[in-house]
């Protein structure tokens, strides 16, 4: 679990860095700051409870054509997003 926990925290923080400098996308239902808020909430839950409060909601953000990918495509970091999404899936399996 420790490996998955650390990997998850690292990739979520990296995702937040990309989102922090991103403009909103016409195709994403959420704005970058809203996604950051969800990620921050789930990070806090992971720290305090050792699990996500709503893993399904977080996983949905990393799904194809969901908010993070749409924001990434609109801001030129679509290739790094694919790497982050793959790492997310792998780390989630380890939690």
d(CA 94, CA 35): 23
Checking if the pLDDT of 82 tops 90, the result is yes
Q: Span 68-92, mean pLDDT? A: 97
Element (H, E) at 59: helix 55-61
Confidence of residue 1 (pLDDT cuts 50, 70, 90): low
Per residue in 37-66, pLDDT (tens digit) is 999 999 999 999 989 999 999 999 999 999
pLDDT at res. 6: 93
How far is residue 7 from each of residues 21, 44, 73, 93, measured CA to CA in Å? Answer: 22, 15, 24, 11
């Amino acid at each position: 679990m420790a490996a998955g926990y650390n990997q998850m925290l690292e990739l979520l923080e990296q995702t937040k860095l990309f989102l922090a400098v991103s403009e909103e996308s016409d195709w994403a239902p959420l704005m970058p700051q809203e996604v950051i808020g969800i990620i921050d909430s789930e990070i806090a839950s992971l720290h305090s409870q050792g699990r996500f409060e709503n893993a399904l909601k977080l996983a949905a953000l990393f799904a194809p054509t969901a908010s993070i990918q749409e924001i990434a495509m609109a801001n030129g970091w679509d290739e790094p997003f694919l790497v982050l999404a793959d790492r997310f899936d792998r780390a989630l399996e380890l939690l």
